[in-house]
Amino acid sequence: MANLVLNNLVKAYGKTEILHGINLDVDDGEFVVFVGPSGCGKSTTLRLIAGLEEITSGAIEIGGREVNNLEPKERDIAMVFQNYAIYPHMSVKKNIAFGLRSSKASKAEKEKRIQEVAGILDMVDLLERKPDQLSGGQRQRVAIGRAMVRDPAVFLFDEPLSNLDAKLRTQMRLEIKKLHQRVGNTIIFVTHDQVEAMTMADRIVIMKDGYIQQVGTPDDVYNRPANTFVATFIGAPSMNMIDGEIVEGGVSVGSEAVLSVPIEGHEKGMVTVGIRPDDLKPDIGTPVLKGTVTVCEPLGPETLLYVETGQGEVIAKADGRTAPQVGDSVQLGVDLSTVHLFDHKTGVALTS
């Protein structure tokens, strides 16, 4: 086990820079999830850590040792791929044993290790099978087994769940989390799914266009987003973004309300007001917006309301049993402590 340090990591293909100086410290045993939309550089970062791509500048340290110029096999890492990449011509056992090829352990020790891993992953009965006789979830477990058997300093997961169906994904998510609690290795996990990021991570790294937008615990990034990108990326449905203006005593949202939120230290002028749909409710809290319900999405315990207001369409949440109907006029209210303010131009969070 080991910590991982990314120091001003830059990756460019020709003149096109993909990563623009990534800095990150990952503690020993930490579960860190990289999340972001396609093309944000998260997989590239992972491949740089693995040594599958050469870094343009900067440094990567694993366990206090700079690994920039080391081959993947010398970095003490293991990687699980999105496509699983288990060898179709080898049995499950051989696939798992493949990870031990370069190990100097005796045959008996290797066998013991394979059985141990198969036991943890509940695959003892499947060891003699070929990959084409396995389900998607089982194949993914073989891929994880092949990584686990080497007991690497750092596990790298490259969107390992995105090829599984929704139910299996939830199940594997839980299994990987339990596995981490059990083996305790450092894990870097890449995904584009913010639910995976929120549910699994000790810390989330949110990336966009080759820059880290925010690093923090799931609570941090959800409740204290650093900018409008993080605010809208994390949480489903996305946070409502409404134009507002800092005025005497608070923030005015259109002509409808002045929210008395703390504005000390901020100059008067336009701001972006962020309110999560969960915090925007009909007839509760401080009134913010008025509008007409255009679409209702009943989810059982609660109903999502799409409300057309003077500030554009917003999404609110109502109690499922007493939700307004399409066409109803509603007054939406909010608990002022949950209101986020962002700079209107840069999108950076203003609330401290």
CA distances to 23, 186, 211, 227, 230 from 207, rounded to whole Å, are 12, 20, 6, 12, 9
**Helix extents (H) in the chain:** 42-50, 92-98, 107-120, 136-148, 166-183, 194-200, 218-223, 228-233
Instruction: Please select the residue that binds another protein; options are 36, 131, 210, 277, rule is CB under 8 A.
Output: 131
Shortest CB 168 distance to another protein, Å: 11
Is 85 one of the binding residues for another protein (CB under 8 A)?
A: yes
Window 99-128: residues binding another protein (CB under 8 A): 99, 101-102
Is 132 one of the binding residues for another protein (CB under 8 A)?
A: yes
Shortest CB 288 distance to another protein, Å: 45
Taking CB under 8 A as the binding criterion, the range among 71-79, 170-178, 199-207, 294-302 that sits at the site for another protein is 71-79
Q: Assess contact for 308 and 315: CB atoms under 8 A.
A: no
CA-closest candidate to residue 306, choices 322, 333, 324: 324
Spell out the residues 6+ positions from residue 155 whose beta carbon is closer than 8 angstroms to its own.
77, 78, 79, 80, 147, 148, 185, 186, 187, 188
In angstroms, the first-to-last Cα distance of the chain is 36
Q: Assess contact for 43 and 91: CB atoms under 8 A.
A: no
Is 192 one of the binding residues for another protein (CB under 8 A)?
A: no
Is 151 one of the binding residues for another protein (CB under 8 A)?
A: no
String marking each residue 162-181 x if it binds another protein according to CB under 8 A: -x------------------
Taking CB under 8 A as the binding criterion, the range among 68-76, 288-296, 305-313, 343-351 that sits at the site for another protein is 68-76
Shortest CB 76 distance to another protein, Å: 10
- Is the Cβ of residue 51 or residue 225 nearer to another protein in the bound state? 51
Distance from C-alpha of 30 to C-alpha of 12, rounded to nearest angstrom: 28
DSSP class of residue 229 equals: H
Taking CB under 8 A as the binding criterion, the range among 15-23, 134-142, 236-244, 269-277 that sits at the site for another protein is 134-142
Q: Assess contact for 164 and 181: CB atoms under 8 A.
A: no
Is 69 one of the binding residues for another protein (CB under 8 A)?
A: no
Residues that bind another protein (CB under 8 A): 50-52, 71-73, 77-79, 81-89, 98-99, 101-102, 130-132, 134-136, 139, 146, 150, 163
